[in-house]
Structure 1
């Protein structure tokens, strides 16, 4: 009986190995480049990286089922933005806010929903305070302490993150290995070693961390005084996204991810015809523009700066590519 079990295990393992590598092969990447006309694919991951790794990073539950509202369709500050420029980059508009272009690394954890929302909130606080606040908000705190937001490393609802900011506040916290802020991120990043292998390729999804109510990064910070809030939490219609970004700063955006996206290198991403759906992902939207007559949204990803275009990517705008324009959330910071 034990021999049968071992043989069966070997067969199943072999099947999984075959399945998990197909969209990372050179042949598949070449196929993408033959088909895609607006973007270029390249080698971002080793071919033997397991599918579990990729699915572990897709933790957005989106906003379609997360709540019934509110849907923001207007704002008194929008009156200042009758003209929307064809090109906009928040890194240039608010060049002194160092967090806007910062690329984080979520590691072996589906915390993209937490990283995207805390990153956007960090930027918005910097903008609202005229750069007096210029640091990261804690993705660690949100991922493992907001129980109604979702399931930690197994995904969450971005709109609920903004609601957490509104009702409970959130502390500061920098990247893994830093002592920046009250509660730095404690999920180890995924890096490429000397042999070209991803250090997370053989790992499992991060186990839940204990929710702490004290500062363990910069211990000189008073935990109770280090809380920041939003006055609201909302979804945005496609027509309001650019006005909201111009008025308050970057927003969170979720979209459907297909297997060709993992090999994105440059250009304006448009899903190729035969790509396979794998899950939903959250990123930060910081601008827009046009490349070779193709309008795009400018995004900051959380798979470290070695992925894609230095950790960033562009995705087609105006056609709701992969649902990107249906799934945008934000909140306006409270300042004193």
Structure 2
């Protein structure tokens, strides 16, 4: 009898270890999360048979835990009279002419989140600094596969190095997959079709592309847009001040497996959640819900994930390191908040 019990236990353990996906995205796991999460709701997005390796592959932010004194740390300016931060701030509402701020993109089967968050924040800031005269998407395709110093394309990259690339090399325009918009549209196919069906399950990660040398979209002129600096922000007040002045910012944070099933509410890591990797997103505002403060952020996992592609994460306690290493840069067209209507056609170099 003891031998039989031992064999049964061995079989159970081997099955458990061989099929981690059943634990990772099982109905039981989602039910448990909804029982213990007090401020947010979980719902299936990735198919139940999605491997943990696939999910980890989407988390491509590198180096955000090790910013050094070599990087400018932007400090809070107590003399900035407009920093009486409101309880609620949404860049989409504050700069309504900048339609791309709330645009949800899909990085596909590629760990290029870092290129979406940084080009996204930079494009938003260009729109803000020009009073809406620049209203396009910048190219994560170019950044991911042309900036050799930034990282390894689909294998992840360094957000602060992306901002340095914007300053030294500039970046061109580029719309979503199969749109032909801009100079260099994204070439990695999305993982979800228009019906919300996953098309990447079981497929290997996209291989890195060759750096495009010329435009292949509708725009034939490769205009390059630059920043005049890059910096790290690591305090709540400074994040708010910078965001209200110049526009959305990039933020990297530690992702745990429960984040994969986020649907709505204010995310907080649940007990027993397993660390998976670093992810990069775009913070576009903040607010308060039922007395709980939050950051409002845009993800790059399609409009079907989360709250129509966005999520909220608790603010003020550095949840998952979200407030530890925010990055940004000021467009070279902008001379500060009092000059938000610089002409976008006035020699942007």
TM-score above 0.5, yes or no: yes
Alignment of 1:118-129 (within 5 A): 118-129=119-130
Alignment CA distance shift 1:21-1:217 (3 Å): farther
In the alignment, the residues of structure 1 paired with residue 234 and residue 134 of structure 2 have an alpha-carbon distance, to the nearest angstrom, of 28
**Offset, 1:32:** 0.4
Query: Is residue 201 from structure 1 mapped to residue 198 from structure 2 by the alignment?
Result: no
**Offset, 1:202:** 1.1
What residue is the counterpart of 2:248 in the other structure?
Answer: 250
What residue is the counterpart of 1:273 in the other structure?
Answer: 271
Alignment CA distance shift 1:275-1:333 (3 Å): same
Instruction: State the SS of the aligned residue for 2:170.
Output: coil
What residue is the counterpart of 1:9 in the other structure?
Answer: none
Alignment CA distance shift 1:180-1:80 (3 Å): farther
Alignment of 1:134-213 (within 5 A): 134-191=135-192, 198-213=198-213
What residue is the counterpart of 2:221 in the other structure?
Answer: 222
What residue is the counterpart of 1:6 in the other structure?
Answer: none
In the alignment, the residues of structure 2 paired with residue 62 and residue 101 of structure 1 have an alpha-carbon distance, to the nearest angstrom, of 27
Alignment of 1:33-52 (within 5 A): 33-52=34-53
In the alignment, the residues of structure 2 paired with residue 54 and residue 80 of structure 1 have an alpha-carbon distance, to the nearest angstrom, of 43
**Offset, 1:20:** 2.6
Residue-by-residue CA offset, 1:77-113 (whole Å, 9 max, x unaligned):
x724231100000000001101100010000000000
**Offset, 1:75:** 5.9
What residue is the counterpart of 2:258 in the other structure?
Answer: 260
**Offset, 1:50:** 1.5
- 8 Å contact from structure 2 (residues 22, 49) kept in 1: yes
**Offset, 1:221:** 2.4
Residue-by-residue CA offset, 1:211-259 (whole Å, 9 max, x unaligned):
12210112x5212xx1000000000022300000000000000000001
What residue is the counterpart of 2:303 in the other structure?
Answer: 305
Instruction: State the SS of the aligned residue for 2:41.
Output: strand
Report how many aligned residue pairs link the two structures.
319
What residue is the counterpart of 2:337 in the other structure?
Answer: none
In the alignment, the residues of structure 1 paired with residue 63 and residue 256 of structure 2 have an alpha-carbon distance, to the nearest angstrom, of 15
Q: Which has the larger radius of gyration?
A: 2
Structure 1 residue runs of 4 or more that deviate by more than 4 Å after TM superposition = 13-17
Query: Is residue 231 from structure 1 mapped to residue 242 from structure 2 by the alignment?
Result: no
In the alignment, the residues of structure 2 paired with residue 191 and residue 16 of structure 1 have an alpha-carbon distance, to the nearest angstrom, of 29
**Offset, 1:33:** 0.7
What residue is the counterpart of 1:113 in the other structure?
Answer: 114
In the alignment, the residues of structure 2 paired with residue 15 and residue 188 of structure 1 have an alpha-carbon distance, to the nearest angstrom, of 33
- 8 Å contact from structure 2 (residues 296, 311) kept in 1: yes
**Offset, 1:64:** 2.8
In the alignment, the residues of structure 2 paired with residue 245 and residue 190 of structure 1 have an alpha-carbon distance, to the nearest angstrom, of 30
In the alignment, the residues of structure 1 paired with residue 17 and residue 241 of structure 2 have an alpha-carbon distance, to the nearest angstrom, of 46
What residue is the counterpart of 1:85 in the other structure?
Answer: 86
Alignment CA distance shift 1:35-1:92 (3 Å): same
**Offset, 1:62:** 4.1
In the alignment, the residues of structure 1 paired with residue 319 and residue 190 of structure 2 have an alpha-carbon distance, to the nearest angstrom, of 29
Unaligned 5+ segments in structure 1 are 1-12
In the alignment, the residues of structure 1 paired with residue 82 and residue 17 of structure 2 have an alpha-carbon distance, to the nearest angstrom, of 52
With structure 1 as the length reference, what TM-score do the two structures score? 0.91
In the alignment, the residues of structure 2 paired with residue 16 and residue 191 of structure 1 have an alpha-carbon distance, to the nearest angstrom, of 29
**Offset, 1:63:** 2.3
Alignment CA distance shift 1:75-1:334 (3 Å): farther
In the alignment, the residues of structure 1 paired with residue 300 and residue 22 of structure 2 have an alpha-carbon distance, to the nearest angstrom, of 22
In the alignment, the residues of structure 2 paired with residue 288 and residue 37 of structure 1 have an alpha-carbon distance, to the nearest angstrom, of 19
| CA RMSD in angstroms, aligned pairs only | 1.8
